[in-house]
Amino acid sequence: MVNAHDLLWGMTPAHLPADAPAWAVDALGAVVVRRAIVASGWIAVGLRGRSREQRLAAVMPIGAVQRCVVPEALCDVVSPRDLPALQALDQLRSVLAPLSWGVTGSAGFELATGIEALHAHSDLDLILRTPKPLDRNDARDLLATLDHAACAVDMQLQTPFGAVALREWAGASRRVLLKTASGAHLVLDPWQAVA
């Protein structure tokens, strides 16, 4: 089973939609699993081109997957490049070590593929697996730690029902935005199924 943010290899040009832009063929090396409801036997994926504007939502057959890299597999990958997002990752490894976390976004893509996706102003995107509720005070403490890193850090809390931004869960708002396969929902408790 694959989850949002996993990186997959095996998609071919034949799997692309008929109206896919030309850059998408070059972007088929690795695709990222996204949240969406798709037909049985298929996986919702996103392709990323060289520029930020080059993003494409697509689907690929489960049977085409040749390799899968999960965000947790990238925690200890070290890059020779010296950029704030990678410096932040170095700073946070020991702090996050006891937790079930992983690297996503541009940093995860670069660490998994070797393709330079980060730049000097890139944020560091992380995911924290939270099968059980994270107390909001603990979320504030964790956020305070992340806010001392070398660049902005965006952490998503992955609950059994979707993902919520740590920054939002640590905030004062009673309702938070839970991202699910069926869309985004404002909820009081991201650890409860959306009605």
132-183 per-position pLDDT tens digit: 999 999 999 999 999 999 999 999 999 999 999 999 999 999 999 999 999 9
Burial (CB count <10 Å: 0-12, 13-18, 19+), residue 147:
exposed
- Check whether 195 has a pLDDT greater than 80: no
When the pLDDT of each residue in the chain is averaged and rounded to a whole number, the result is: 94
In this prediction the pTM is 0.92
- Check whether 27 has a pLDDT greater than 90: no
Query: How large is the average pLDDT for residues 60-68?
Result: 96
- Alpha-carbon distance of 121 to 152, in angstroms, equals 9
Active-site residue identified among 6, 123, 135, 141: 123
Q: Which helix (H) or strand (E) holds 166?
A: helix 166-169
For residues 188 and 175, the answer to whether their CB atoms sit within 8 Å is yes
Active-site residue identified among 125, 147, 154, 189: 125
Give catalytic status of residue 19 as yes or no: no
- Check whether 50 has a pLDDT greater than 90: no
Give catalytic status of residue 125 as yes or no: yes
Domain boundaries, given as residue ranges, for the chain: 7-69, 71-187
Q: What is the pLDDT of residue 42?
A: 96
Contacts of 54 (CB under 8 A, 6+ apart): 21, 23, 27, 48
78-98 per-position pLDDT tens digit: 999 999 999 999 999 999 999
